[in-house]
Amino acid sequence: MDISSLNSAQQEAVRSTEGAVMVLAGAGSGKTRMLVKRIGHMIDQQIASTYEILALTFSNKAAREMRERIGQEITLELDLGALQVTTFHSFCARLLRTEANYLGLSRNFTIYGSSESKAVVKSLMGRRGVSSKQISPYEILAYIDDLKNRGYYLEREGGVASEIDLSEDFYGYFREYESELARANALDFGGLITGVLRLFQKFPKVLQCYQDRFKYILIDEYQDTNRAQFELMKWLTGDQGNVCVVGDEDQSIYSWRGADIRNILDFEQSFPEAKTIKLEQNYRSSRNIIEAASCVIARNEQRKGKQMWTDNQPGESLQIVESRDERGEAEFIAAETGRLVSSGVSYNDIAVFYRTNSQSRILEDCLRQRRTPYRVVGGIEFYQRKEIKDLLAYLRLIVNSKDSLALARIINVPARGVGTTTLRKLEQEAVGCSLSLWEILEAVVAAPERFTHIRLTAKVKTGLSALVTLLSEVMVLNSEQALPSEMYQKVLYESSYWNILQASNDHESQARLENLEELLSGIKQYEQGVEKPSLSGYLETITLDESYAMEEVPQNGEVSLMTVHGAKGLEFPYVFLVGAEENLFPSFRSMEDGERGIEEERRLFYVAMTRAMKKLYISFALGRMVFGQVRFNGPCRFINEMPKKYFQWIKNHRGPSSRDQGGQQKDNIWDDHNFNQEQSYGSPSPAKERVSNVVIRKKTGTHSLAGGQYPKGTKVVHSLYGEGTVLHSSGVGNNEKVMIQFHNGMRKRFLAKFAPLSIRS
């Protein structure tokens, strides 16, 4: 294989195949090309067979693209069927289906997504008589996810357990949650990883089998791995130690999802003989963008240290855009987008990044007003729409009859007269008899006289009988390996789901019908893409794809709007980074985590900057409406970390501000930043708004001028977490938010009006 087109560092990374290797690949440094060449080199030079290589990444899209490019690169005529280029979760799912019996699972286990996991937790809360007002199910799920991200499972003792809060209430939910999943023959995403950890720890011979097979392991986006994934890598690597990790600590932005930056920072401690190679040449961005971004990220302490450079031209200066308010900011972006397109730029080449999803509203309004085509990348996803989730629940139940969550979802969809009370009685009967909900339903339909305590009307009996008959027939088809599309259509039409929507004949129903048609198209596309299509295979594919549904960027002439997190791995010639203000970017919540939180926000800012190829706009508003209050936060600190030579300042102040009525702003409130301010850019005058409850904030302050109900130092009692002390509060009235340090070691943030708090006298 010819690798002469690679630079010297890339060539070294390709040739360094033995032992532990860490490749620190900076933004736009050609890491994917290097990875493809590395795998191709090992195959072409017969260093390893396709059977002996395992490459793990974080998205199915990245895995597909890498696999295709490897096929194009290798010169030997080989069957790449044995080559494992896949995601962590897909790899673990496939492994566990092969070895399921070791863990007491059947091979047709269901993989629960986030909505199914939430339903389990809500069911557990219901049994305890705990309402969502007392504690959010998402909080319990976050605790469970944290345990699994750290590699914890019920049978595990010592080690990671000592690092985790095993408070009785939350840990009790974890135990019950795991029991529910086991009873349903199901695993969640985290359970796929910890399931393999359990398997390898308990059955050394199984571990040895996989260590003998995968002699060369490669991990992409290593900075995004959590502790459980790190342990999986260590188990698989074993003593032979041929592992190559590729990542960039400066782009570690997913700690909220469990990513542990220590994995990449401490790699050389885990593998003392490791070789480190740095890819520091950027091929994507102009010199001004790269050098400005490098100045920002250099402020971080948690980094290995790279000095990015490029042979690209300096390009245009960065544009720092100061607007009076968020509407002025959005109108500037809409106007500048129009100007760029008029000069020949494609809409596809323009992206707008924001820190939080809530910032998109005003941007969308202004783009719509100018008839600018746009798409919110990562909006409501296809597989989250009600009608899609309903039909997929039918299909999940057909594959795994023990999936009680799926049955509970569709038992009254379409309506069969089964209310919450009837469903709860059936569920209680199932628990009491140690059976699945489906087994109880079959028994009730077959012999209703044995279940007289479950009172069913004639209508309900008829509906449930028809449901059992339909599902039983399709289960037989599934056992006979019928095509997934045939089973889907049988369910769709014979359940009356399609007919009821068609009879409605309204716009919403028509849209749902179109979605159901698209689902059928997707099933057929799956059937055409695999040798042996199966319903379980299809469901596994879309479930594992759920986390990566935001990857596809529109290519049909639209401006892309997305969060900075959603922009990771993408690139655009023209980028607008909006809301670059203290308490927004960096976020107020990140500041509560101290320097660690600020460093992650700085990495996020760096990621946003390095998506831009030709021109980068960074904008902020002098005043921004947040929760009904105007806040004056000032430009974010990261702007001040860039030398002035890299940017031009634009004052977008023409026309009256939408904040002219209400609130006062000192002219010198940002004088201490001492930025260049050279040019004005006009925007249409926004409509005036009535402003109330104005809160003036210094750029790093956390308290309002008006006092709240819970000032700093207040002793409080929470109905679930117990006693604690208010660390700080912000806002007033209905908008008051409090940060509390509890005596059990937990630190929580609440919107005061909803929190079950009482002040301790």
Active-site residue, from 31, 37, 396, 602: 31
Active-site annotation holder among 11, 17, 32, 240: 32
Q: What angle do CA 678, 680, 685 make, to 5 degrees?
A: 160
31 is an active site residue: yes
Q: What angle do CA 170, 176, 177 make, to 5 degrees?
A: 85
Where is 126: in which H helix or E strand? helix 114-128
Active site residue 17: no
Burial of 671 (C-beta count, 10 Å sphere; 0-12/13-18/19+): exposed
Active site residue 665: no
Phi, psi of 86 (to 5 degrees): -155, 180
Give yes or no: 420 in active site.
no
Q: Report whether 44 contacts 76 (CB < 8 A).
A: yes
Residue 752, helix vs strand vs coil? coil
Q: Which is catalytic among the residues 611, 624, 631, 637?
A: 611
Task: Tell me if residue 386 is catalytic.
Answer: no
Give the position of tokens 């990245």. Answer: 62
All residues at 6 or more sequence positions from 505 whose CB lies less than 8 Å from its CB, including other chains: none
Rg (the chain; Cα; Å): 28
- CA–CA separation, 19 and 269 (whole Å): 14
- Which residue among the candidates 99, 221, 403, 581 is catalytic per the annotation? 221
Q: Of 207, 208, 187, 210, which is closest to residue 197 (Cα–Cα)?
A: 207
Among the listed residues 251, 319, 563, 714, the single catalytic one is 251
Nearest of 175, 176, 31, 195 to residue 111 by alpha carbon: 195
Cβ–Cβ under 8 Å, residues 651 and 680: yes
Q: Which of 145, 180, 220, 429 is catalytic?
A: 220
What does residue 643 show for φ and ψ, rounded to 5 degrees?
-60, 145
φ, ψ of residue 556 to 5 degrees: the values are: -115, 40
What residues have CB less than 8 Å from 296, skipping those under 6 apart? 602, 605, 606, 609, 638, 641, 642
Please confirm, yes or no, whether 98 is among the known catalytic residues: no
Contacts of 159 (CB under 8 A, 6+ apart): none
Instruction: Tell me the β-bridge partners of 281.
Output: 309
Interstrand relation of 216-219 and 53-57 (parallel, antiparallel or unpaired): parallel
Cβ distance 31 to 281 under 8 Å?
Answer: no
| Active site members | 31-32, 220-221, 251, 611
